[in-house]
Amino acid sequence: MTTETLTQPMELGIFIDGKFENSLSGKTFKVYNPATGEVIANVQEGDREDINRAVMAARKAFGAWSEMPAAGRSILLNKLADLLEAKKEEFAALESLNTGKPMVESLFVDMGLAVDCFRFFASASRLIRGETIPVPSGHFAYTMKEPIGVVGQIIPWNFPLTMAAWKLGPALAAGCTVVLKPAEQTPITILKFAELITEAGIPQGVVNIVPGFGETAGAALVDHEDVDKIAFTGETKTGKLIMERAAKTLKKVSLELGGKAPNIIFEDADLDMAAKTSAWAVFLNQGQACVSGSRLYVQESIYPQFMEKLVDYSKKIRVGNPMEMSTQIGAVSSQEQFDKIMSYIEIGKEEGAKLLTGGNKVGGEFSKGLFIEPTIFEATQKMRINQEEVFGPVLSVVKFKDLNEAVELANDNQYGLASAVWTSNLLTANTMIKKIKAGTVWVNTYNFICHEVPFGGYKQSGIGREMGLQALDLYLETKSVIVDMGANTPNWYGL
């Protein structure tokens, strides 16, 4: 698929109880291609009543789905993965069309991760188990794991289908049913994915997808008394609001929130590899990633030669049409995000940061789209561009003297999602691993994502862990069982 094959906007509905429907209000909203500004879809706008219908469908489906043997759920999730893999080129094209990200990234990163996620949790569903616990003689104690119930899931716009897989995979493996609200900017691939959910044989009502806006559909999902848990990925400010609203019904909450990852280059690192990888640590997906390595710390002794390599490489990155496989950086996802990023670039200049490369909107043949040059600033620790999450192709670079200062600078931030250390010294690496306050520490690599490994943050980067077997715990309750075996042994009261 290319932009030329889309002759008119797609018409997309709400997916409830296995069927596509119109919203009860009749309202719709438009979805745009950020690379061209063209309308590519008209989408039914879900509201409170649509959320209620979806929750009712999920509650109705919960009994049979939760009681299905884990092997049965495993088979269906594997089938879903197979169907997505068979159509990965089509879905990658839709993802690039909707998000502005390069086709090469959508195909080999987004689709690859989504397929593997469903396969991992298809296997993980068979590993759900309790444990037996030694207790005083005459009694038998054990625990059971049970699905938590109906789950509301709210996903972001930066990796739409991948983030949906990260949420749906463990929830379905655990036996939960789902009402999912995609970001209003990027609902296309997950709504098309609903067709595969039906084709895979997943029962009606197990997955329901309600596109809409946070203030209406999202709030209704969080407030709903028959939703047992909310899983959210997005900015920290919104995560805090969700926690406040969820407290009214005491529903469980897991949050994967913002980040401002420190990427630390020591003088004994492989500078060529570190420079190249550090560029992609921040410029992948146009910088719109929660793990983006947007705080770069470089040891003073190697600063000049390292920065020469980094800037030179960054200037050669190909910005262009997302639908062309040679493009390395595409358009940012929305006008709102474009304006935010450009405002931070101006803030950096006003604060006195030194602009080393980039900083402009890409013009010429791409002037109608939301393209921003890869941008690098030489900054200081307390500048806003070095403390706040820009969520765009903007890198701030700060010098450091030694290991102790590197630790201090790395931890001097409200976020703690990811980090990286570049060194050939095992002692340095091990010390940094222990002292950095972040959920992930990469050593001599970046953006290595594997579904077997838990993912989540410290501090204001979230609550809970996605991926790995730990992700299943987000969707399971633990029930303790204690049985008197009839041995007539005295209990604790001596009776």
What pLDDT does residue 2 have?
Answer: 43
What pLDDT does residue 5 have?
Answer: 54
The two beta strands, 10-12 and 229-233, are unpaired
Q: Where are the alpha helices (DSSP H) in 200-324?
A: 219-223, 236-246, 271-283, 303-315
Query: What residues are labeled active site?
Result: 256, 290
Count CA atoms closer than 13 A to 304's CA, side-chain side.
1
Enclosing H/E stretch for 296: strand 295-299
Asked whether 372 and 272 are in contact (CB, 8 A), the reply is no
Count CA atoms closer than 13 A to 92's CA, side-chain side.
22
Nearest CA among 271, 261, 373, 361 for reference residue 317: 373
CA–CA separation, 219 and 240 (whole Å):
13
What pLDDT does residue 494 have?
Answer: 56
Tokens 């002037």 correspond to 367
Percent of the chain with pLDDT over 70: 97
CA torsion, ordered 333, 337, 338, 341, to nearest 10 deg: -130
Residues belonging to the chain: 495
Nearest CA among 414, 386, 475 for reference residue 240: 414
Residues (pLDDT < 50) of the chain are 1-4
Asked whether 38 and 32 are in contact (CB, 8 A), the reply is yes
What pLDDT does residue 3 have?
Answer: 43
CA–CA separation, 160 and 182 (whole Å):
7
Which amino acid is located at 27 in the chain?
A: K
Q: What is this structure's pTM? A: 0.95
| Phi-psi map region of 354: left, alpha, beta (phi>0 left; psi -120 to 50 alpha) | beta
